[in-house]
Amino acid sequence: GSIVRATGLVKTHRPEGAAPVHAVRGVDLSVERGEFVAVTGPSGAGKSTLLHLLAGLVRPDSGTIELDGRRIDTLSEARRAMLRRRHIGVVFQFFNLVSNLTVADNVELPALLAGRSPKQARADRTELLEELGLAAKEKRTPGELSGGEQQRVALARALVNAPSLLLADEPAGSLDSKGTREVLRLLGRFHQRGQTILLVTHDARMAGAADRVISFFDGQVADDVHLDGGRPGA
Ligand code: ADP
Ligand code: ADP
């Protein structure tokens, strides 16, 4: 079945003292288990808003969102936060690490918040940091790391609870070409292992790493293509 299923999603931003912005204007979308989907399109198309909706960070004005078959759009903020912690990993362009915590603590924190024992959290953190080549940096703070390293820490943090879905919002947007290649390589590796990934990017080269590309334009899905040439559901 689908990991994510959204129907009729609508989200209008209503900034104070400014005109409303119709960011997402009627979107139907399903992501199947194990898919690596890129959502691409120009700046302002509504990609980030869509990702925030799917992450449960904001609530749609109308429409439904199911994660693993359960409605999340109708849940309270507290319940959505719990669900996010356990089932969704998110990485952002600017990493959003806790600057005064060590790398190790940044990665362990979500595991502890999700109710893992300290021992289990430590074991999961150690395994991921080793896998991501960061074992030697675990006592550092984020400010002592390069951008690429910080994004790898953010990836470890997003994956520590083995989420059903990894959401990545322009994860290479503030990295150089080396960091970009590294992020792509890691996303590819986790995908090979069965991780479901939804990547938001305006970068065609990054989108090309996915096996399905959804083109977003003006708050709507303009195209939805499997890169082997087929179309989902066709
Ligand atoms: P706060 O959360 O304190 O309102 P924000 O920085 O999120 O502060 O938002 C400040 C203002 O800018 C708000 O009116 C918000 O709706 C608007 N805003 C936030 N993000 C964006 C964006 N990406 N594009 C346009 N307006 C935005
Ligand atoms: P993209 O990720 O494709 O660049 P966004 O979802 O960030 O698109 O933005 C879609 C539209 O909604 C843009 O016009 C943007 O300025 C606006 N927007 C995004 N977030 C907010 C917000 N919090 N408040 C007001 N406007 C926003």
Q: What is the ipTM of this complex?
A: 0.73
Nearest CA to ligand 1 atom 7: 15
Is residue 95 within 8 Å of 153, Cβ to Cβ?
Answer: yes
In 10 A of CB 221, how many CB atoms?
16
- Ligand 2, atom nearest to 48 Cα: 2
**pLDDT tens readout for residues 75-128:** 999 999 888 888 999 999 999 999 999 999 999 999 999 999 999 999 999 999
Length of the chain measured in residues:
234
Question: Is the CB–ligand 1 distance for residue 13 below 6 Å?
Answer: yes
What's this model's pTM, rounded to 2 decimal places? 0.88
pLDDT band of residue 176 (cuts 50, 70, 90) is: very high
13 Cα nearest atom in ligand 1: 16
Model confidence at 199: pLDDT above 60? yes
> Ligand 2 atom closest to Cα of 42?
3
Number of Cα atoms under 13 Å in the Cβ half of residue 74: 5
Q: Is the pLDDT of residue 22 over 90?
A: yes
User: Ligand 2 pocket test: which of 21, 51, 170 has the largest number of ligand atoms within 8 Å of its C-beta?
Assistant: 21
Torsion sign, CA atoms 152, 158, 159, 165: negative
Which bound ligand lies closest to the C-alpha atom of 57?
2
Alpha-carbon span 207 to 48, nearest angstrom:
15
- Does the pLDDT of residue 21 top 80, yes or no? yes
Query: Which of 89, 14, 82, 18 lies closest to 49 in space, CA to CA?
Result: 14
What are the tens digits of pLDDT across the range 39-86? 999 999 999 999 999 999 999 999 999 999 999 999 999 999 888 888
The pLDDT-based confidence of 234 (bands split at 50, 70, 90) is very low
Which residue do the tokens 């820490």 mark? 153
Report the C-alpha gap between 19 and 75 in whole angstroms.
Answer: 28
Q: Tell me if residue 67 falls in helix, strand or coil.
A: strand
Which residue from 98, 154, 96 is spatially nearest to 129, judged by alpha carbons?
154
Q: Mean pLDDT for the chain?
A: 94
